[in-house]
Amino acid sequence: MPFEEKATWVSVVVGLLVPVVYFATVLPQLADTAAADIAYQRSLIIAVIASIILIILGTIAMAIATAVGAEITGTGSVDDIDRKDERDVSISRRGDVVGYYVASIGAVGALILTMLEYDYFWIANTLYLSFVLAGFVAGTVKLRAYRRGF
């Protein structure tokens, strides 16, 4: 499995787990609290920072495990971690373009909510959800391309 594919797995898994925890803590508050009164800001900032840190740490841990595994088994080399070929670049580009379209649609949704003067809660969470979905879709497109080709 190429290093880029492993890094994509880390991003997809973290990109799903952190938002699930965020939305599981914030959305139930809507049952008994108005959206304007929900203190979501701190939780959202923590979710974004946690995602970034966990992706970085997960990628580092995966790189170390890959390097150690290459040394122990004698298959591959530590240099494979830094190596990207045309296929990796093309797969990454394709996934990022599809993710960009998803993020753009979500941003338009947030813009519409802004023009309709919805609460900041809905606007911020729409933007966050659009970025989460964009990352998931981009990662899924990349993983599919690695497994099935273009």
Non-local CB neighbours of 96 within 8 Å, separated by 6+ positions: 138
Q: Which of 22-36, 45-59, 65-79, 116-130 has the lowest mean pLDDT?
A: 65-79
pLDDT in tens, 96-132: 999 999 999 999 999 999 999 999 999 999 999 999 9
What pLDDT score was predicted for residue 78? Answer: 54
Task: Spell out the SS3 assignment of 84-115.
Answer: CCHHHHHHHHHHHHHHHHHHHHHHHHHHHHHH
For the segment 25-51, the average pLDDT, to the nearest whole number, is: 94
If one counts every other C-beta atom within 10 angstroms of the C-beta of residue 96, the result is 13
The whole-number pLDDT of residue 74 equals: 64
On whether the CB atoms of residues 102 and 130 are closer than 8 A, the answer is: yes
pLDDT digits (tens, 9 = 90+) for 37-49: 999 999 999 999 9
Q: What is the percent of the chain with per-residue pLDDT over 90, rounded to a whole number?
A: 73
Is pLDDT above 80 for 76?
no
User: Token pair 């290459």 is at which residue?
Assistant: 70
Sequence-ordered list of residues with C-beta below 8 angstroms from that of 50, at least 6 positions apart, any chain: 18
How far, in Å, CA of 96 to CA of 44, rounded?
23
Q: How confident is the model at residue 88 (pLDDT cuts 50, 70, 90)?
A: confident
Joined together, the tokens standing for residue 77 give 């080399």
Q: Which residue has the higher pLDDT, 124 or 76?
A: 124
> Alpha-carbon dihedral of residues 36, 16, 62, 73, nearest 10 degrees?
170
Nearest to residue 5, comparing CAs of 142, 150, 149? 142
Mean pLDDT of the chain: 90
Task: Give the total residue count for the chain.
Answer: 150
Higher pLDDT, 70 or 86: 86
